[in-house]
Structure 1
Amino acid sequence: MVKAKDLVVDKQISPTPRKRLKREERDREIAAAAVAFFAEVGFDGDTRELARRLGVTQSLIFRYFPSKAALIERVYQEVYVGRWNPYWETIIADRTVPLKDRLLRFYKDYSKISLTYDWVRIFMFSGLKGEDINTRYLKFLRSRILEPIAIEVRAELGLPSIQEIPLKESEIELAWGINSRTFYLGQRRWIFNIPLSLDIDEIVEHTIITYLAGAKTVVPMLIKQD
């Protein structure tokens, strides 16, 4: 039997205090934790739980991010804006290189960024929750990549420029097909938990070849339609 005198409480033992961080370091720590947290649980995740995982108080999080909306905005900046490489736009526009090679180079590189766990899951959760991450990013993607691809397809095929005949929505929709196919690979892996049997670069290459073969037949028909 344990006697009362044997129950000694060591008053010297206390939780190890967290290291004090500079403001910039704490800001980055919270942002990185928020990315991981929302990718795991979605945007219904409570900031109290995020604070618990960080080992800080909720009030400390709000000292850096005054609202949950501000924290979500930072997640968007970290994952989608911060990982964007402006050089990709240069690759697409470089007509000294065959279009097939340009598209392969871009999408193989882009897939390494866009098919990651946090990128895919945050994007899906955003759509389900009604956050504007999806609409903002897709608008950005359309103007920076998809419209330029449609323009380059015309140039590759010797078709009228957009100054002669404005881009048609159907041309841009064809280019969306590359992204839809590529993003589905991320859904399979990180949403449906279905492993990929082929290398992603190989699938991207097949997708680009299919797109260009279809565009060669379809785009001239679309331009003629009024």
Structure 2
Amino acid sequence: MPAPKVPSPPRRRLSPADRERDIVAGAVAFFAEHGFDGATRDLAQRLGITQPLLYRYFPGKEALLDRVYQEVYQSRWQSEWETAIADRSIPIEERLKRFYRAYAAVIQTYEWVRLFMFAGLKGLDFNSRYLAFLRARLFERMVIEIRVANGLDETAPVSEEEIELIWSLHAGIFYIGVRKFIYGMPIPTDLGADIDFKINAFLNGAPAAFATLLPKPAQARSRVARKK
């Protein structure tokens, strides 16, 4: 005897704005689980709507993916972080620790990490867009603030070598989420303490490395010239 059919749950009546938010939230969860090869047909089924209704809100998969990017990466960035990084009334060590503790709480999630990794594997522009954003809004600012805190020239152009050092810190903190949500490996039990430890180690080495990349002060150059 065939099993009785289970009726589908009735479609929820939502306002257009609520329906759009519902689709975006569902798409974020769906693509984080299945990757960006997941079909919109399957997404619509998961959401309990028809594919034509999905396309009424997003005319194609590219438009939906662009909204996913905005939702996960752009909307979660807090402009206050940029102001706090530049607040020289607070020691640079404390500024970086505060920022990375707050930032880690945003990025070290199942959806954030997995979408970022899937985007890279798929060749989407999520990664390049976000990394360019980070460089402009955060990394160059961090270089300048570390220079100032250590008595180095803040007016010299930021070099690629300095940016690479910032990357080494940033990537180390991001990798905690990769270990958890990609590899299923254990991570430090006290994330805040681990972040503080990484920043302490970084600040004990980065300023000296920065100094080797900057032009010698004019006074030092004039002394060298007089000796000659």
- Relative to the length of structure 2, the TM-score reads 0.90
Provide the rounded CA distance (Å) in 2 between the counterparts of 1:78 and 1:216: 35
Q: Which amino acid aligns with 1:202?
A: A
* Residue 14 of structure 1, CA deviation: 5.7
> Which of these residues, 200, 213, 219, is aligned with residue 222 of structure 1?
213
> Which of these residues, 161, 170, 181, is aligned with residue 170 of structure 1?
161
Other structure's SS at 1:59 match: helix
Partner of 1:198: 189
Bigger drift between 190-199 and 66-75 goes to 190-199
Q: CA RMSD in A?
A: 1.9
Unaligned stretches of 5+ residues in structure 2: 217-228
* Residue 200 of structure 1, CA deviation: 1.1
What pairs up with 1:30-45 in 2 under 5 angstroms?
A: 30-45=23-38
* Residue 25 of structure 1, CA deviation: 0.5
* Residue 135 of structure 1, CA deviation: 0.3
* Residue 203 of structure 1, CA deviation: 1.2
Q: Which amino acid aligns with 1:186?
A: G
> Which of these residues, 32, 50, 55, is aligned with residue 62 of structure 1?
55
Partner of 1:6: none
Residues 72-91 of structure 1: CA deviation (Å, up to 9, x unaligned): 00100100011111100011
Other structure's SS at 2:183 match: coil
Provide the rounded CA distance (Å) in 2 between the counterparts of 1:71 and 1:104: 35
2:84 aligned with 1:80, yes or no? no
Number of positions where the alignment pairs a residue of Structure 1 with one of Structure 2: 215
Residues 150-201 of structure 1: CA deviation (Å, up to 9, x unaligned): 0001101111122xx2111111111111111011100000000002143111
2:131 aligned with 1:122, yes or no? no
What pairs up with 1:1-12 in 2 under 5 angstroms?
A: none
Q: Which runs of 4+ in 1 moved over 4 A?
A: 13-16
Other structure's SS at 1:44 match: coil
- Distance change (3 Å), C-alpha of 1:66 and 1:211: same
- Relative to the length of structure 1, the TM-score reads 0.91
Provide the rounded CA distance (Å) in 1 between the counterparts of 2:193 and 2:16: 44
Partner of 2:139: 146
* Residue 124 of structure 1, CA deviation: 0.2
> Which of these residues, 205, 210, 223, is aligned with residue 201 of structure 2?
210
Other structure's SS at 2:115 match: helix
Unaligned stretches of 5+ residues in structure 1: 3-8
Provide the rounded CA distance (Å) in 2 between the counterparts of 1:106 and 1:31: 28
Other structure's SS at 1:111 match: helix
